[in-house]
Chains A and B, each alone.
Chain A
Amino acid sequence: MMASLFIVSKDIPQWLAAMAKTRKVFATQRESGAIIFKPYDPGREVVFERESVTSCKEAVFPQTKVLFSYFVKKNPETGETAGVAIEESLNKPAPQAVVFGTRPCGTKGFLTFDRVFDCDRIRDPYYTSLRERTAFITLACDRPGATCFCHWVGGAPDDPKGSDALLTPVEGGFLVEAVTEKGEELVNEARSLFAEADEKRREEGAAVRDKAKGMLTPKPDLTDIGPALEKRFRDLDFWEDMTAACVSCNMCTYLCPTCYCFNITDESDGQAGVRLRTWDACMSQQYSLEASGHNPRPTRAHRMRNRVNHKFWYHPKEYGGVISCCGCGRCVKHCPGSVDIRRILLTALERKDEDAE
């Protein structure tokens, strides 16, 4: 990690503008009260005093990704199909990109994506091409909120894992630490905006981080969460109780930085069409609906069981014990029914010695 630098708050837009010259920059902006990630626009204020509603998932795993486009050629005389023209989207070069103002939890979400889309078994070119070109400038949290639980799942308000540069808010500006070479490059390109952070500032930064950690509520031990959830697998009454407030919408999965399920559809319009990869959500009834009409997960209880189990039991089992939840709390904070995944985990743990009837 390079030495700490300091940037005053009012110079942040200049830094963004410098990066935006050669890159696509995503930054958090406020629209109609909601802080969301949007392409950077010099005319709009970048807002990051609170965690954004949407995660930065969109930057690397867009909600709609065109895999390829096609056009069915017809013989104008006979109307018969005379071949298909296909254009592969991977052939279009993707610009370099920067995500600015994500929190450590959201940035870490991509570590889950990496395990799935870029591993020994598979290397998904649509994902990796965007992943490689994207850098993350993360803002350490100075005050965790009521729904934050990054520390339950191995994170911390100042966790630099997955980030290319880490900012810490201090009086009048931010301490900046490049974590990777990519991050160093982003800083060096606008080096004149940064000053060396003196001892006092570095101490202040450390104090901010310590204070944030001190504000976290005590965390439970999740070592046994897999077996505890396994015990509850057949206990549908448990899942029904836990989902009494769930409306089966897709919000939790779409806001989640680690939910990576997708759907693939062909969308045609006359002879033209596209094959799309779009976000899918296991909380929706259609997700598991089979062509026969049978649905193995017919109720919200079944679906929530899958969502929680996947993050805390199946994924760790498959990928070396790593929980695929980053603890950002978006699914709790924005849920229309205030369904709290933490309560589900704690209740399952409480009842881990109890067999289902």
Chain B
Amino acid sequence: MSDVGGKELRIIGFLCNWCSYGGADAAGVGRFSQPTDLRIIRMPCTGRVDPLFVLKALVSGADGVLVSGCHPRDCHYSEGNYYARRRLEVLKRLLPMLGIHEDRFHYTWVSASEGARWQQVVTRFTERIHELGPMDSLDPELAVCAIRELGGENGQADQPAPASGE
């Protein structure tokens, strides 16, 4: 159950190792309560975040994707987040043309010391995704999804849900 209420949704977070990942950690150490829908993937830098990671997550069943890195001028590698900013802004403006709500994707900057900001970012983004609800299913008949039933029959119902919506 999500803290935001209702069924937990699948949100993927790509976090820069040098800032936001620490920020998320700081939020945890500071015992700031956060929704639990987010699954975090640690990245060396937002400059490593290919916009295709976001798109791949969205077509594969993620309901929202969050990218968070170092504030401009604070990149551990000087300029990774500047490249990321351009790419991610272009991506954000592509989504509506695909029929995907642009709010399903968000990028922001959180430093390692900003635990409170991290809490706000996650809470607000998760709330927004819950307002939008789950992503529309792309392939209800996807072969690899059908086989999940096999797992269910064998008492493995706690497996992760099918990759492309139920």
Contact = CB atoms under 8 A, between A and B. Distances in A.
Question: Do chains A and B make direct contact within the complex (CB under 8 angstroms)?
Answer: yes
Interface stretch (A13-21, A264-272, A306-314): A264-272
Contact of A274 (B147, B153, B160): B147
Interface string B123-166: 00000000000000000000111111011011010111001000
B143 A73 contact: no
A70 B160 contact: no
Contacts of A69: 143, 146-147, 150
Contacts of A341: none
Contact of B151 (A85, A268, A276): A85
A269 B146 CA distance: 11
Nearest to B152: A71
Interface in B94-143: 143
A74 B151 CA distance: 10
Contacts of A268: 144
A338 interface: no
Contacts of B154: 71, 73, 85
Contact of A87 (B144, B145, B150, B159): B150
B12 to A, nearest CB: 15
Contact-size category for A: 10 to 19
A69 B156 CA distance: 16
Contact-size category for B: 10 to 19
B136 to A, nearest CB: 19
Nearest to A87: B150
Contacts of A74: 156
Given A71-B156, A73-B156, A270-B160, A66 B143 contact: yes
Given A269-B163, A270-B159, A271-B159, A71 B143 contact: no
A50 B82 CA distance: 53
A272 B154 CA distance: 12
A85 B147 CA distance: 10
Contacts of B163: 269
Contacts of A273: 144, 147
Contact of A71 (B145, B147, B160): B147
Contacts of B145: 269
B134 to A, nearest CB: 18
Contacts of A64: 143
Contacts of A73: 151, 154, 156
A318 B148 CA distance: 43
A274 B150 contact: no
Interface in A262-291: 267-274, 276
B151 A71 contact: yes
Interface in A214-264: none
B151 A269 contact: no
A73 B154 CA distance: 8
Contact of B143 (A76, A85, A270, A274): A274
Interface centre among B145, B151, B160 (most CB of A within 10 A): B151
Contacts of B143: 64, 66, 69, 267, 274, 276
10 contacts: A71-B156, A73-B151, A85-B150, A85-B154, A87-B147, A267-B144, A270-B160, A271-B156, A271-B159, A274-B143
Interface of A: 64, 66, 69-71, 73-74, 76, 85, 87, 267-274, 276
Given A269-B145, A274-B147, 20 more contacts: A66-B143, A70-B147, A70-B150, A71-B147, A71-B151, A71-B154, A73-B154, A74-B156, A76-B158, A85-B153, A85-B154, A87-B147, A269-B144, A270-B159, A271-B156, A272-B148, A272-B159, A273-B144, A273-B147, A274-B144
